[in-house]
Structure 1
Amino acid sequence: MLTVPNLLTLSRILAVPLLVFLLWSPTPWQYGVTFVLYCLVGITDYFDGYLARAQGTVSRLGQFLDPIADKIMVASVIVMLIAREPVRGFEGPIVTDWHLIPALIILLREIIVSGLREFLASLRISVPVSQLAKWKTTFQLVSLGALILAGALPGQAWVHPLGLGCLWAAAALTLVTGWDYLRVGLKHMD
């Protein structure tokens, strides 16, 4: 069922290859374009759910695609930011050294929670998204946006540390919410 909310979700999925391409070997202006695209994609994440509920068009396709769209976008951007090599004299939006830890925590949690949700769905058990998980997503999206923006604004030294700080905050919330999901899942395992 191709409703406006589902088309918005699909647009997020289709934007991922473009985000990856722009982050492949970016210049500051490409980081700027990437940041704008990333913000547009993030806005569609809000509006697809809002419109689906407001129009009464919540669909199984949307419920299936929405978390996938979020996960592939976040995972792709994290991988591209990890893959960047430092440029002499410009750190840019690189995620290196100890900052790989929160990036890996976020990626691993996404895989674990996806598997757990699939397992629980087979038992017809749904795990609603908590308010804390929404905060985790907010910190995660702000973090990645700030890290991309750091590449567009190399003279603004505060942007990159802001992105890294939000990445650590997102990872901390990721551990808490991941444990919450795991705790629910363990109750239903033999």
Structure 2
Amino acid sequence: MNVPNLLTLLRIILVPVLVVLFYLPLESRAFICALIFMIAAFTDWFDGYLARKLNQTTPFGAFFDPVADKIMVATALCLLVEDYREFWMTVPAMVIIGREIVISALREWMAELGKRTSVAVNMIGKMKTALQMMAITMLLFSSSPLNGFFGYAGIALLYVSAILTLWSMYVYLKAAWPDLSPFTKPSQPD
């Protein structure tokens, strides 16, 4: 167990903490939830940075890091959808969560074919993740009903990240299309 893996575990542990605090009748609930999510978002970046810098990449980290991110984002989006109860919040949340399911399945399938690198994370995906994390933090801080700078900026960033989500999904599917196309003979693993 190394520091990057501990940071990944921390992010997973923060998920139920976020949920519990979200429902507590605390006056500072919005601030605390936004802070927890911001810490989780920072550990997402920091654990990857440390793993590469210290040459401490592990199979555990390679598997659990993206899982922790997806659990944290999906949970926060579900909490926001429930809190806001508005169509304009539900649509980008569905797009983001749906894309994560599609791309996770695509990566697993491409890995079975020995072609995981053709759907490796790209710059669009990294931008999408950064905007998503900022948007969710702002929306958790703003809290329902939507108001103030953080609320409006958060929803704008959420829509931009949803657009980048669709764009990155298109890029990944396009890269995998030769192996997905019903008109292409199935390729054999290398």
> Normalization by structure 2: what TM-score?
0.88
The one-letter code matched in structure 2 to 1:114 is: S
> Matched residues, percent identical?
36
Q: Which amino acid aligns with 2:138?
A: A
CA pair 116-144 structure 1, distance change in 2 beyond 3 A? same
Aligned to 1:91: none
The alpha-carbon distance between structure 1 residues 23 and 160, as it changes in their structure 2 partners (threshold 3 A), is: same
- Asked if 2 retains the 8 angstrom alpha-carbon contact of 1:140 and 1:167, the reply is yes
Q: Contact 2:35–2:137 (CA<8 Å) still a contact in 1?
A: no
Cα separation, partners in 2 of 1:64 and 1:155, compared to 1, 3 Å: closer
1:109-144 deviation per Cα after TM superposition (whole angstroms, max 9, x unaligned): 000000001101111112221111111001100100
> What is the match of residue 123 of structure 1?
113
After TM superposition, give the deviation of residue 81 of structure 1 in Å.
0.8
Question: Quick check: 1:24–1:80 contact (8 Å CA) kept in 2?
Answer: no
Cα RMSD (Å) of the superposition? 1.8
**What is the aligned partner in structure 2 of residue 38 from structure 1?**
37
Structure 2 counterpart of 1:18: 17
Unaligned runs of 5+ in 2: 181-185
| Per-residue deviation, 1:185 | 2.1
Superposed, which structure 2 residues align to 1:4-153 within 5 Å?
Answer: 4-84=3-83, 94=84, 96-126=86-116, 127-151=119-143
Give the Cα–Cα distance (whole angstroms) in 2 for the partners of residues 28 and 110 of structure 1.
Answer: 33
Aligned partner of 1:180 among 159, 162, 171? 171
Q: For residue 28 of structure 1, report the CA deviation from its aligned partner.
A: 4.0
Q: Cα distance, 1:155 vs. partner? A: 10
Runs (4+) off by over 2 Å: 24-28
Q: TM-score, normalised by structure 1?
A: 0.88
Matched residue type, 1:69: A
